[in-house]
Amino acid sequence: MELTIKDIHQAHKRIAPHIHRTPILQSQLLNQMIGCELYFKAENFQKIGAFKARGACNAVFSMDNASLQKGVITHSSGNHGAALAWAAALRGAPCTVVMPENAPQVKKDAVAGYGAHIELCEPTMAAREGTVVRLISEQGSTLVHPYDSDVIIAGQGTAALELLEQIDEPVDIVMAPIGGGGLLGGTGICVKAQSNARVIGAEPEQAKDAWLGLQRGERLAEYSPNTIADGLRATVGVRNFEVMRETVDEILLCSEERIVEAMRLIWTRLKVIVEPSCAVPLAAIIDQPEQFQGKRVAIILTGGNVDLDSLPW
């Protein structure tokens, strides 16, 4: 594995002037309810409202000017698209985002708001990738993949880097949800290099391609997720699967019902707006509480871009 903690430190130095150092949130009442000490890294307060700003910013600020002038392109169900649009705008580069037709309107608006061009396609991974390939051959633009890329994984790992600095005492467990595996991959590299904490990923039962892949010892190339956690519908990437195999101790699953319950708990107890994806680690803890009792557990809240007109309760 070539990707190391050095890459994450370099990424952090590169992106720190542009991103927020998001706070750690806690709730005594929530801790009492769950039976462990929870630390939430609030990436819903991050630029563009999600951790994806970290990876996209690292990618764009790693590029040379000649490539940037031809533009960047990506496919995304939402937050990575907004992140790349935002990061490209910081360097004055053209940006195209291929989005599935069924992406939440609030995420389409965000991408458009940062001045990127949106190209809609059918909501399948094949259609997304096909459209990207076609546009790259037409435009000569550079693909910034939403997760299957070292520069993205290193960028996403900076959230865990800050988290370990911000919490005074050593944590026992660090958790993140799994979509394409960019966040959990970067988190795994960082946490294993900097601490003795366990790294636990969380997935909806109805989007458990990473869990299945690790069980079988082989990444699933295709999988049809069906979860409310719209940020976790991507299939784990090739590079991400390799990194997760080496750095992730365990993946826990949770039901859709529990995701909604955990999301409400975060909203009402922490008083912050988070996406359903953010609630997946807490949902997994509620479903399988044993190993968490009395432990210090850090959870990365991934984003807060929610359509207030279609809440899940």
Helices 5-15 & 158-166 angle (0-180, nearest 10): 90
279 binds a copy of itself (CB under 8 A): no
SS3 label, residue 112 = helix
| Separation CA 126–CA 301 (nearest Å) | 29
With CB under 8 A as the contact rule, the residue among 130, 267, 288, 296 that binds a copy of itself is 267
Name residues contacting a copy of itself, limited to 209-248 (CB under 8 A). none
With CB under 8 A as the contact rule, the residue among 160, 273, 279, 299 that binds a copy of itself is 273
With CB under 8 A as the contact rule, the residue among 39, 40, 45, 292 that binds a copy of itself is 45
Closest contact distance (angstroms) between CB of 273 and a copy of itself is 4
- And the tokens for 144? 């910034």
Closer Cβ to a copy of itself, 49 or 155, answer by number: 49
With CB under 8 A as the contact rule, the residue among 44, 158, 195, 206 that binds a copy of itself is 44
* Angle in degrees, CA 307, 104, 205, rounded to 5: 90
Closest contact distance (angstroms) between CB of 208 and a copy of itself is 28
180 binds a copy of itself (CB under 8 A): no
User: Within the chain, what is the greatest distance between any pair of CA atoms?
Assistant: 56
SS3 label, residue 251 = strand
310 binds a copy of itself (CB under 8 A): no
List C-alpha distances in Å: 139 to 72, 98, 133: 9, 14, 10
* Angle in degrees, CA 285, 287, 291, rounded to 5: 50
Q: Name the nearest CA neighbour of 213 among 188, 178, 174.
A: 178
308 binds a copy of itself (CB under 8 A): yes
Q: Which stretch binds a copy of itself (CB under 8 A): 167-175, 190-198, 214-222, 262-270?
A: 262-270
66 binds a copy of itself (CB under 8 A): no
With CB under 8 A as the contact rule, the residue among 11, 14, 49, 55 that binds a copy of itself is 49
Chain length of the chain: 313
Q: Name the nearest CA neighbour of 62 among 13, 101, 27, 120.
A: 13
End-to-end Cα separation, the chain, in angstroms: 43
CB of 43 closer than 8 Å to CB of 302? yes
32 CA to centre of own chain: 28
With CB under 8 A as the contact rule, the residue among 169, 196, 271, 290 that binds a copy of itself is 271
Closest contact distance (angstroms) between CB of 42 and a copy of itself is 8
- And the tokens for 256? 């859709």
Name residues contacting a copy of itself, limited to 17-36 (CB under 8 A). 23
304 binds a copy of itself (CB under 8 A): yes
Closer Cβ to a copy of itself, 181 or 304, answer by number: 304
Neighbours of 39 (CB within 10 A): 18
Number of residues binding to a copy of itself, judged by CB under 8 A: 18
Q: Which stretch binds a copy of itself (CB under 8 A): 53-61, 146-154, 224-232, 271-279?
A: 271-279
Residues forming the site for a copy of itself (CB under 8 A): 23, 44-45, 49, 106, 264, 267-268, 271-274, 304, 306, 308-309, 311, 313
